[in-house]
Amino acid sequence: MTTDHSYAVLKSRALIALGGEDWRDFLQGLITQDVETLQPGELRFGAMLTPQGRLLFDLFVVGREDGAWLDVEAEHRAALILRLTMYRLRAKVTIATDETPVSVLFGGQDTPQGWMADPRLAALGWRSYGVAVPAGAAEVDEAAYDAHRLALGVPGPADWGSEKTYPIEANFDLLNGIDFHKGCFVGQETTSRMKRRGQIKNRMLPLTFDGAAPAFEAEVLTGDRRAGEVLSGQDGRAMALVRLDRIDGELTVDGKTVQVDRPDWLPL
């Protein structure tokens, strides 16, 4: 059987295994996503925030029979374990590293057995943890997956950094990364207030242009007024954090014309 899927092993991601009888209540009070109803084999997207409501760590929560995996940035795994341990207090929770590889599959139509649909956006494809790759899928590097994500206008960790960005600015509210109906979590007050007031001034949107990507944090201008800053990118396309009230005119970066390419899934 042939397939038009592509797959990549994400070496930039790593797992934390949570277990113990209190893991669900423990995690529920910390992250933006609901885990009370998480079922084994289910995947959800969320984040841990600072008390002031800024993004600390993005994460996927993977339901398991005896707990959950947290799929996190590999370079921040140790820091997240440290923070989880700080919050644990007397909760009956086990926190450990797990070396099961994180893989993604994208570009095809049929859902492969054992793979979980990306909860952010269906077009992103599927994620798996130690599951066999479908026969005939073409192996690509992580850069190819990042290009696929960027083409869909979905920001990634390189765009929001740590303790810099509010999750709504990074579109977590539109990518199923925040459950506004769950109970309290760290940073909830600021997050809920931004959503309730509906006064979202900045969002991450893709830019298109000719040639190489501008430097990280290069200014986006409308005339001589600042409209935002460039984030991660590649030839012809980059993410930017932009002011929504300043993107309708002619935009430039370093004197070069750029255009906002709003994805269909992102209403303004």
Q: In CATH, what number is assigned to the domain containing residue 21?
A: 3.30.1360.120
Do 209 and 125 fall into the same domain? no
Q: What is the pTM of this model?
A: 0.94
Distances (CA, A) of 206 to 7, 172, 256, 266: 24, 15, 16, 11
Distances (CA, A) of 234 to 67, 217, 229: 38, 14, 15
Rounded to whole angstroms, the Cα distance separating 117 from 38 reads 14
In a domain, 17, yes or no: yes
In a domain, 174, yes or no: no
| 8 Å CB contact between 15 and 101 | no
Question: How many structural domains is the chain composed of?
Answer: 2
Do 38 and 128 fall into the same domain? yes
| 8 Å CB contact between 135 and 7 | no
Distances (CA, A) of 100 to 7, 8, 97, 128: 16, 14, 9, 10
Model pLDDT, residue 3: 66
Rounded to whole angstroms, the Cα distance separating 109 from 2 reads 12
Do 143 and 245 fall into the same domain? no
- Counting Cβ atoms within 10 Å, is residue 240 exposed (0-12), middle (13-18) or buried (19+)? buried
Do 75 and 143 fall into the same domain? yes
Amino acid symbol at 178: I
Phi/psi for 196 (5° steps) reads -65, -40
Among 136, 151, 166, residue at a domain's last position: 151
Do 120 and 212 fall into the same domain? no
pLDDT in tens, the chain (268 residues): 346 899 999 999 999 999 999 999 999 999 999 999 999 999 999 999 999 999 999 999 999 999 999 999 999 999 999 999 999 999 999 999 999 999 999 997 788 888 999 999 999 999 999 999 988 899 999 999 999 999 999 999 999 998 999 999 999 999 999 999 998 999 999 999 988 887 789 999 999 999 999 999 999 999 999 999 999 999 999 999 999 999 998 999 999 999 999 999 998 7
Model pLDDT, residue 2: 44
Model pLDDT, residue 108: 78
Model pLDDT, residue 213: 95
Q: Which domain holds residue 268?
A: 201-268
Model pLDDT, residue 189: 93
Collect all residues with Cβ–Cβ distance below 8 Å to 122 and sequence separation of at least 6. Answer: none
Do 142 and 251 fall into the same domain? no
Do 210 and 110 fall into the same domain? no
In a domain, 195, yes or no: no
In a domain, 165, yes or no: no
Among 151, 182, 213, residue at a domain's last position: 151
CA 62 to chain centre: 14
| 205: CATH | 2.40.30.110
Do 143 and 84 fall into the same domain? yes
